Amino acid sequence: MSKETTSKTIAVALGVCLVCSVLVSLATVSLKDRQERNRRLDKLKNILVVSGLYSKKADIAKTFQDKLRPRIVELETGVPLPEERYDGLLNTRDFDLNRVAADPRYGMTIPAEQDLAGIKRRPRFMIVYDVIHDGAVEKIILPVYGKGVWSTLYGFMALGKDLKTVEGFSFYEHGETPGLGGEVDNPRWQRSWVGKQAFNKRGELAIEVLRGKVDPEDPKAVSRIDGLSGASLTTRGVNNLVRYWLGEHGYGPYLDRLRREGMR
């Protein structure tokens, strides 16, 4: 093969690569907005599923707008943030907990001895959702997240009007092993949380995910959930993240305030 032929071949190959790169870049840019919109809708869908409001026939965005009321809450005090203090990061439209956690104004480093969820930093403010029925709050939705085996798990927990009973639980994003830790997506396992008591009669945190099966004769069974078979590390991660976020360094002050003042 002549040098001229070789040069032409290389030039054609480089030209094809360049055209393909441009096409891929254009596709990525053109699809970005649609992907972001789909991610937002999927997140809203998961909130509706946990709240018990999801229907395949319903308009997700409209149902969310009509039935849920988002708030920004300061975790340390449990006090909702006035809307006049909302800004580009602290708002209910596009709240991104990772961006807020990383921000030097609105995020904080968690002391190692308190970091049960293994997340190192957390927002000082979190978004929460009131589920409204006939003008009254009937349950609240709390975002939760923490480390599993291979990933950070992001999910939602619904608590009933008594602020003790779990009425829904799911994860909307994670990278755990399919068939093992990935069983956090199993609807049967998620339903096993419903009706469990997150707090005992004295108001103490009681919810616990076991590494094995719950003994129905155990007096504490009402607050215990079966672990994931073959996924003890993911099970431990779920237990830790739930206990962190329901505890004194998570939503504890907010829940205490609601108990004192009532949900409204």
pLDDT tens digit string along 201-244?
A: 999 999 999 999 999 999 999 999 999 999 999 999 999 999 99
Distance CA 103, CA 27 (A): 31
Antiparallel, parallel or unpaired: β 125-133 and 121-123:
unpaired
What would the mean pLDDT of 152-174 be, rounded to a whole number?
A: 96
Q: Report helix, strand or coil for 36.
A: helix
Closest CA to 187 of 81, 49, 89, 48: 49
pTM beyond 0.75, yes or no? yes
Question: With 60 as the cut, is the pLDDT of residue 123 above it?
Answer: yes
Q: Give the start-end residues of each E strand in 87-165.
A: 107-109, 121-123, 125-133, 136-147, 152-160
Average pLDDT of the chain to the nearest whole number = 90
Q: Report helix, strand or coil for 14.
A: helix
For residue 16, the model assigns a pLDDT of 67
For residue 27, the model assigns a pLDDT of 47
Q: Report helix, strand or coil for 156.
A: strand
- Per-residue pLDDT band at 29 (split at 50, 70, 90): very low
Q: How many CB atoms lie within 10 A of CB 11?
A: 10
What would the mean pLDDT of 1-8 be, rounded to a whole number?
A: 60
For residue 86, the model assigns a pLDDT of 97
Question: With 60 as the cut, is the pLDDT of residue 20 above it?
Answer: no
Distance CA 44, CA 50 (A): 10
Distance CA 195, CA 158 (A): 11
Q: Classify burial at 48, counting beta carbons within 10 Å of its beta carbon; exposed 0-12, middle 13-18, buried 19 or more.
A: buried
Q: Which residues of 115-146 are buried (b: 16+ CB within 10 A; e: fewer)?
A: bbbebeebbbbbbbbbbeeeeebbbbbbbbbb
